[in-house]
Amino acid sequence: MTRLGRVAKILFTVARYRLDRNIGRFAGHHWWYRFSPLRLLPAPKQTDGARLREALENLGPVFIKFGQILSTRRDLLPADYADELAKLQDQVPPFPSNIAIARIEASLSGKIETLFASFEYTPIASASLAQVHAATTEAGDEVVVKVIRPNIDRVIRKDLALLYTMAALLERLSREARRLKLRAVVRDYEHTIFDELNLLKEAANTATLRRNFTGSPLLYAPKVYWERCTESVLVLERIHAVPISDVAAIKAAGTNMRKLAERGVETFLTQVFTHNFFHADMHPGNIFVDIRDPENPSYVAIDCAIIGTLTAEDQTYLARNIVAFYKGDFGRIARLHIESGWIPAHTDAKEFEAVIRQLCEPLFERPLQDISFGHFLVALFQTARRFEMEVQPQLVLLQKTLLNIEGVGRQLYPQLDLWSTAKPFMEKWMRERYGAKAFLKAMIDHAPTLATELPRLPEALSSAIFKLGELDRLAAAQRAAMDRLTNAVNGQTRRARWRRAAGAALIVAGLGFLWQPLAGIVAAGGDSLSITAGAVAALAGSLLVVRG
């Protein structure tokens, strides 16, 4: 489809799904909305969010992926929009198998018959960026082969150009769109989607997740067959497990549902705080359950294209925020936001504490198991935005993952108390990170360096004392220089003020000299001396005023 044809389809979709009403909701009813011919069409019966979701599905894979990522920005979007966009399904018709095979053979430099002992021509899954085929290696291992769609990068670039244009237009029309920073959202999406096109990154992420949970009863990640992986082809161990969405099958196997739900929370916390490497796309389509031992079920994760990490500082401040919430210490939450740099240092801590208290107090009136951890985090970020908080990408990924995990956990076991499940983990993590054992471990880890540096300690202290004295002398010299500069500026200001005053006086005197001669110049010929003196005085005064 040509660019003009694509634009025409977008405009038709806007009209068909009455997206002008969505734009009007954010931009306000400007003149273009009042005079829009679309208003002659019948008012839609569906909600704004539902119509937007259907429009994105109609526009195709790139827009579907954009809607999915947009649904994670609950700190920006109204709840009804986020809920509807979260329903977007990344399922599209497969492309022909002969094209998939040709791409695999070109990428792996071999014929499909020599690369695999068997290969299923009918794909077992098909999404917007890639599709998956089942196969068997020469050693008899069951694998899945993921291959990127042909020409998808060209399609993405074209649609991204249109998304940028639409975002820029909406930002011009709407203050709300500017607040949402739509162009920045599109830019984040661009980075994410092109990362997903490089399957070597997904292979590396999968291998790291697998290594992190080696021997763990919590999570399993498939084996990577590195010798058959390229940027456009990924070969992984085939997993036989039950999709997390098939709750009926999981229950029918006699699975311990409470343990399964609590292990989901523990898996999330382990990824975020212990490993600092978390699967950030854990929607139901990417999570399976191993129920071979129903009393000790575990999770299986696939599609590791999107991974999140936190800085050590973000980890610490997030953990302390959670512990402070447990204790109802709202002042601590406010101070942590300022100390972490999440909100500006000039923020009034007392005012921010009052807002946090207003947010949290109603929650404490309910049992902890009825409080959504994820929605609390979303509300906290939305509140902090009023104080100029810029939510960072890694925190958005964390928030999205938490919402997914909590939603899945409560679908499996509605009585799940995420807070009581998380509390012992967080307290243990804080002790291990900042307790006496952590201090001793740090001392032992740094013992060789300390042994080398201790003999230099007296010299370093002496040097530090000398440098402190130098800094004091430098500071004193800078203060003296600033005083001289201030005096010079003040003196120049005074001189300029006197010049302006003198200039104004000379102008007045000049006008006095000129008044009578000019008045009588026609009748009596004028007084040339007075005229000359007046002109000189006025000119000199004007120069003084201008220079002053």
Cβ proximity of 321 and 339 under 8 Å: no
Residue 107 lies in a domain: yes
- Let me know if residue 469 belongs to a domain: yes
Residue-wise pLDDT tens digits, 320-338:
887 887 777 888 888 888 8
Other beta carbons less than 10 A from residue 163's beta carbon: 22
Assigned domain for 521 exists = yes
- 248, 274, 307 - which closes a domain: 307
Residue 451: inside a domain, yes or no?
no
pLDDT at position 488: 76
Q: Any idea of the CA torsion for 307, 311, 313, 318, to the nearest 10 degrees?
A: -10
Which pLDDT band holds residue 44 (cuts at 50, 70, 90)? confident
Nearest alpha-carbon partner for 509 in 470, 467, 474, 541: 541
Radius of gyration of the chain measured on its C-alpha atoms: 35
CATH of residue 118's domain is 3.30.200.20
Per-residue 3-state assignment (H helix, E strand, C coil) for 479-515: HHHHHHHHHHHHHHHHHHHHHHHHHHHHHHHHHHHHH
Res 286: pLDDT: 86
Q: What is the pLDDT of residues 357-404, one digit of tens each?
A: 888 777 766 665 666 777 777 777 777 777 777 666 667 777 777 777
Q: Is residue 450, in this structure, part of any structural domain at all?
A: no
Both 76 and 104 in one domain: the answer is no
Note whether 120 and 187 are same-domain residues.
Answer: no
Q: What share of the chain in percent tops pLDDT 70?
A: 75
Q: Is 303 left (phi over 0), alpha (psi -120 to 50) or beta?
A: left
Q: Which of 445, 467, 482 is the last residue of a domain?
A: 445
Counting the structural domains of the chain, the total is: 4
Strands (E), 365-524: none
Confidence (pTM): 0.69
**Could you tell me if 276 and 169 lie in one domain?**
no
Output the 3-class SS for 151-207: CHHHHHHHHHHHHHHHHHHHHHHCHHHHHHCHHHHHHHHHHHHHHHCCHHHHHHHHH
Give me the pLDDT at residue 3, please: 65
Non-local (6+) Cβ contacts of 32 within 8 A are 173
Closest CA to 418 of 377, 358, 382, 365: 377
In a domain, 478, yes or no: yes
**Top-confidence residue, 512 or 193:** 193
Domain identity same for 438 and 472? no
Whether residue 497 is found in the same domain as residue 523 = yes
Q: Do 101 and 85 share a domain, yes or no?
A: no
Q: Give CA–CA dist 507/536, Å, rounded.
A: 9
Residue 369 sits in which domain range? Answer: 310-445
H-helix segments, 36-151:
48-59, 61-71, 79-85, 97-108, 112-115
281 catalytic residue (yes or no): yes
The chain-wide mean pLDDT, for the chain, equals 79
Task: Compute how many other C-beta atoms are within 10 angstroms of the C-beta atom of residue 349.
Answer: 15
Same domain? 392 vs 538: no
Last residue within a domain, chosen from 445, 469, 488: 445
CB atoms within 10 A of CB 60: 16
One domain for residues 319 and 215: no
Residue 259 pLDDT > 80: yes
Whether residue 319 has pLDDT greater than 80: yes
* Residues 479 and 423 grouped into a single domain: no
Residue 299 has pLDDT above 90, yes or no: yes
d(CA 79, CA 243): 27
Q: Which two tokens stand for residue 532?
A: 């000359």
| Statement to judge: residues 213 and 301 lie in one domain | yes
Strand partners, 299: 219, 289
Residue-wise pLDDT for 456-474, tens only, equals 667 666 677 767 677 777 7
Helix (H, G, I), strand (E, B) or coil at 174: coil
Catalytic residue among 20, 159, 281, 314: 281
The verdict on residue 452 lying in a domain is: no
Compare 486 and 502 and report the one with higher pLDDT: 486
Whole-number pLDDT of residue 106: 95
Which amino acid would we find at residue 466?
A: F
Same domain? 227 vs 294: yes
**Other beta carbons within 10 Å of 489:** 10
Please report which helix (H) or strand (E) contains residue 125, including its range.
strand 125-126
Are residues 335 and 213 part of one domain? no
